[in-house]
Each structure stands twice: as C-alpha cells, then as structure tokens.
C-alpha cells in the first residue's frame, strides 16, 4: 500500500495542470474538441500562450491530444534546456509527441542566448530540444537566423 | 351515571374513532393530466415515470398550484434517453424546471450550479455560477448552456489536470 502511495506521489509530482482562461467557450462532445475564443490565456507552469482562438482536442479518456492556437499568438515555452518566446500566426502543440509547431510569420527568440529565428514553419521538439526550421514548397519567404556572438 | 349511559358514551367514542383503526396508514393521492406524466404523491415522496424520464423525490413541502405548476424539494430525475440525471435541492416547475443547488450528470461531465434551468422538451440545461468536471477536466464560470451535446460558457476558467 505504501509503495502505491509513493508511486502515485511520484507520478503526480511530474504532472502539472494546464489552465485556460477565455471570454467564450464551446465544447462539442461528439468531436471531443473544446473551442476557446476571446483573450485566450493558456498557462502551464512557466509556459504561457496568448491567442484569439484556441482548439483543445482530447481523446475519449479526456486525455489531452492537441492544442491549436490561432490569431495573434504570443508564447513563452520551455523545453529540456531552453526557453523560447515569440509570436506567430498559428501554434500547434502535439501532446503525445511533445512537439510545438509554429506556422505563419513565426518569430522565435531563444531566451538564454538571444538567438532569433524567423520562418513560416518552425518545429521545436520539447523532448529532445531540437528545432527544425522549414518552409513550404511554394513559399518564397526566406528563413532568417540571427546569432548574437560575444566579442 | 348508569350502565346504559356509559355504554352509549362508549359506543359513540368507538364509532367516532373506528375509521382511524381501519384506514390505511399510507395516504395516497393520485393525479394525472395530458401534459404531464402520471404523478403520484405518497407520504412525502413523489414518483413520475413515463419510460423517458423517471422523477422521484422526498420533500418537506410540495404544492400543486395547478396541473402545470408545482414546487418541491430534493428532486431526483433520471433521463433515460440521454443516460443523464438531474438533482436539485429546491425546484419550481412551470413548463420548465427552475432549480437551486443543482447537479446535472452526463456520461462526460458532472455539472454543479448554484441556480439552473432545465427544459424537458428541448433538453437544454442552463447553469449559473457553475462548475463542471471529470477526472481530467475542471471548468468554472458564470453561465453555461448545455444543449444537443454542445456546451457553451462565458468567462470560463478551464483546467486540464495532470499533463506531463
């Protein structure tokens, strides 16, 4: 019994709550999607996402699957070692793979060393800490990195 | 007083109290009408059953002002078609249910509201000062509407629990 309690304590100590504030909320039971509109503010520990609209997808067991934030998205997210902040048109978070995808006019600043990334499609893997900057085939917008080097 | 008079007095007393000895302990009133299902009032408990909704409740007071208007306490309803239930401390029924301290339970969420309205025909539940929750989700706000499996709410504080 003691082992079970200790195990549960360990499990809960590694999980956190995600809090979402919004002016308007709709939940569709059939599609398992919650839609938040108006001054949406998502907080999970030190992570924070602000947007106009947010879609939250859960599975039948109420487990979080995916977050999609759209419209004037501002964020501050952390992975293993780094903290990223910035803005984009659309942010997608895949909860199973722990991957952030930033699409459309993405501008990300790595807080620790002030590196800046501009692109139309940026993917950050929260587990590994890897960042992939990509552009669409039809997209002519350049990818831009700004590395600040200490003199 | 002679024996005849004594016997007469005794006979009168027995005659007056006789119905109390043989009347049923449980007093039952029955009432039915076209718009509402069969209603039974029975020693502070009422039951309504029409295979769509089962209503029951113990109450301290129930008043029928007319056939479509009643007040009761501790309502307990089970809605067969949606597999959901509704409980409330105080209820006024007039075409729809006006509820206080209400708990509305579906297979997805349990809703609690300080005040609420439930419409049987449209199957709509409106909750004020509400909270809905299950093992993973917790939502709070001022006003919510649940209709056709779609929940809408204003100024919500929504928490997803236990995310890694």
pLDDT at residue B124 in the model: 92
B133 touching chain A per CB within 8 A: no
Structure tokens belonging to residue A117? 């990334």
- Residues 6 or more apart from A127 whose CB is under 8 A from it? A79, A80, A97, A98
CB contact under 8 A, A17 and B139: no
- Residues 6 or more apart from B41 whose CB is under 8 A from it? B28, B29, B30, B31, B62
Instruction: Report yes or no on A2 lying in a domain.
Output: no
Rounded to an integer, what is the distance from CA A104 to the centroid of its chain? 14
Instruction: Report yes or no on A46 lying in a domain.
Output: yes
Instruction: Report yes or no on A111 lying in a domain.
Output: yes
pTM to 2 decimal places = 0.73
CB atoms under 10 Å from CB of A57, counted, come to 15
Nearest to B154 among A17, A24, A62 (CB): A24
Query: Where in the sequence is the domain holding A67, given as residue range(s)?
Result: 8-146
Using the predicted structure, report yes or no on whether residue B29 has a pLDDT greater than 70.
Answer: no
In A97-126, the residues whose Cβ lies within 8 Å of chain B are 98
A126 vs B27 pLDDT, higher one: A126
pLDDT at residue B149 in the model: 86
Region A87-93: mean pLDDT is 94
Structure tokens belonging to residue B146? 């649940």
Structure tokens belonging to residue B11? 């006979």
Tell me how far apart the terminal alpha carbons of chain B are, to the nearest angstrom. Answer: 95
Q: How many residues does chain A have?
A: 151
CB contact under 8 A, A17 and B163: yes
ipTM of the complex: 0.77
Instruction: Report yes or no on A3 lying in a domain.
Output: no
Residue pair B134/B126 in contact by the 8 Å Cβ criterion: no
* Integer Cα distance of A104 and A17 in angstroms: 28
> Domains in chain A: how many in total?
1
Nearest to A19 among B153, B159, B162 (CB): B159
Using the predicted structure, report yes or no on whether residue B19 has a pLDDT greater than 60.
Answer: no
Give me the CATH number covering residue A121: 2.60.450.10
CB contact under 8 A, A15 and B163: yes
């Amino acid at each position: 019994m003691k082992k079970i309690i200790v195990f549960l304590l360990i499990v809960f100590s590694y999980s956190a709550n995600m809090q979402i504030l919004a002016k308007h909320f709709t939940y569709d039971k059939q599609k398992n999607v919650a839609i938040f509109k108006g001054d949406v503010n998502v907080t999970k520990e030190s992570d924070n996402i602000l947007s106009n609209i947010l879609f939250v997808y859960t599975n039948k067991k109420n487990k979080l699957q995916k977050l999609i934030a759209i419209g004037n998205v501002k964020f501050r997210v952390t992975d293993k070692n780094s903290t990223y902040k910035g803005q984009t048109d659309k942010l997608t978070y895949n909860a199973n793979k722990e991957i952030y995808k930033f699409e459309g006019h993405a501008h990300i600043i790595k807080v620790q060393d002030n590196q800046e990334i501009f692109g139309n499609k940026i993917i950050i893997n929260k587990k590994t800490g890897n960042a992939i900057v990509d552009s669409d085939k039809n997209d002519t917008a350049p990818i831009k990195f700004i590395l600040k080097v200490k003199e | 007083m002679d024996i005849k008079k004594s016997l007469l007095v005794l006979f009168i007393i027995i005659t007056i109290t006789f119905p109390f000895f043989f009347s049923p302990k449980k007093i039952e009133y029955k009432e039915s009408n076209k718009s509402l299902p069969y209603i039974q009032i029975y020693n502070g408990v009422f039951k309504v059953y029409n295979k769509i909704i089962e209503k029951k409740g113990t109450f301290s007071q129930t008043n029928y002002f007319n056939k479509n208007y009643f007040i009761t306490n501790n309502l307990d309803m089970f809605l067969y078609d949606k597999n959901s239930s509704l409980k409330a401390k105080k209820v006024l029924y007039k075409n729809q249910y006006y509820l206080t301290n209400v708990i509305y339970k579906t297979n997805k969420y349990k809703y609690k509201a300080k005040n609420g309205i439930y419409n049987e025909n449209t199957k709509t539940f409106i909750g004020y000062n509400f909270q809905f929750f299950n093992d993973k989700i917790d939502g709070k706000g001022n006003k919510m509407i649940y209709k056709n499996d779609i929940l809408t709410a204003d100024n919500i504080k929504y928490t997803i629990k236990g995310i890694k």
